[in-house]
A and B are shown apart, each in its own frame.
Chain A
Amino acid sequence: MDHYGPFVLSAFAITVVVLGGYAAYLRSRLSGLRRQEQAHSARNVATAVPIPTTAQTANSPSGSTRS
């Protein structure tokens, strides 16, 4: 390269750093939101109240009295 080489290399380096940095920022934000959504759905599954089945209702003391 001639004496303008440092200008070319610095322009190129700035482009790579800015675009690479922006892509890394988007990637970390996307993975953070995905993690958060997975954690939220896992928490919902863990705390969900089980729905009693017909058989459980019939056997329980307060269940159906039909014989």
Chain B
Amino acid sequence: MITTRSLGWLSAVLLAVVAIGTLYVFSVDALPGPLRLFVAQRDRFQGDARRIVFFHVPMAWVAFLAFFVVLVASIAYLRTRNDRWDRLGRASAEVGVVFTTLVLITGSIWGYPVWGTWWSWDPKLTTTLILWFIYLGYLMVRSYAEPPRGPRYAAILGIVGFVDVPIVYQASVWWRTLHPEPVIGPEASSQSTDIVALLLLSLVAFTLLFVFLVRVRMQIEELASRPTTAFAAT
């Protein structure tokens, strides 16, 4: 079975490969054929600004995955009242909020050169901001409300809050928006091979990082819940 430490190293190595491919450190011609797939070419219209997409999109995917894990853990907690599900939900929500924060920041930095503005009250951006507030609320409920009410209220919020995830994903399909169409999933627009290959590698790297962070966060929750360390952890 893969350990948390080896998972951390694996995700770090893959992220380093993605970073090199994204930032285009080497000349593409100098690379062997298969590796050229993992190097981002300059876009004809967006120039180098498109490179932000190679970590912005995978982080959005990981945030959706994190909130899906919160949904599953919340349903399981309400059914079983097993604290382990509550700890998984809390760990995943925290990691999801970190990734959503980065999605909003990197999206804003991409938007300025391409749209000419840091922020627009566009459906995709607005629903993503709402998503961020929902799960920030989840973490606040989980932190400030005493058990057993805190975990129960947070689980309900974790289930209701997930309704916003498909809305964020579909926003650029349902409404007229500045944001490009999805590049991953059933509504994905067709892309050239180099984009898909690097995006998939980046997706794997960020997903492994997500699993690593959630596992470490779960270990913290488990240690903090033991009577020997519970006093200092609060």
One of B141-149, B164-172, B219-227 contacting the partner: B219-227
Q: Mark A32-64, 1 if CB is under 8 A from B, else 0.
A: 011011001100000000000000000000000
**Can you name 16 A-B pairs with beta carbons within 8 Å?**
A3-B47, A4-B46, A4-B49, A4-B113, A8-B49, A11-B55, A12-B19, A12-B52, A18-B101, A23-B213, A26-B220, A33-B224, A33-B233, A36-B228, A36-B229, A37-B223
Q: How far is the CA of A14 from the CA of B101 in the complex (A)?
A: 11
Ordered nearest first, which 8 A-B pairs have the shortest CB separation? Answer: A4-B49, A33-B223, A11-B109, A40-B228, A4-B48, A11-B106, A2-B47, A8-B51
**Residue in A closest to B91 when the chains form the complex, CB atoms:** A26
Taking a contact as CB atoms under 8 Å apart, the answer to whether A10 and B232 are in contact is: no
> Nearest Cβ in chain A — how far from B102, in angstroms?
6
Q: Does B63 interact with chain A (Cβ within 8 Å)?
A: no
Q: How far is the CA of A2 from the CA of B49 in the complex (A)?
A: 9
Give the number of residues in B that approach A within 8 Å (Cβ atoms): 37
> Nearest Cβ in chain A — how far from B184, in angstroms?
18
Q: How far is the CA of A37 from the CA of B112 in the complex (A)?
A: 49
Q: Mark B96-122, 1 if CB is under 8 A from A, else 0.
A: 001001100110011011000000000
Taking a contact as CB atoms under 8 Å apart, the answer to whether B52 and A19 are in contact is: no
| Chain B residues with CB under 8 A of A3 | 47
Taking a contact as CB atoms under 8 Å apart, the answer to whether A11 and B229 are in contact is: no
Give the interface size class of chain A. 20 to 34
Q: Mark A15-29, 1 if CB is under 8 A from B, else 0.
A: 100110011001101
**Residue in A closest to B216 when the chains form the complex, CB atoms:** A26
Taking a contact as CB atoms under 8 Å apart, the answer to whether A15 and B98 are in contact is: no
Taking a contact as CB atoms under 8 Å apart, the answer to whether B220 and A15 are in contact is: no
Q: Per a CB cutoff under 8 Å, which of A5, A19, A30, A40 touches B220? A: A30
Taking a contact as CB atoms under 8 Å apart, the answer to whether A26 and B48 are in contact is: no
Q: Does B42 interact with chain A (Cβ within 8 Å)?
A: yes
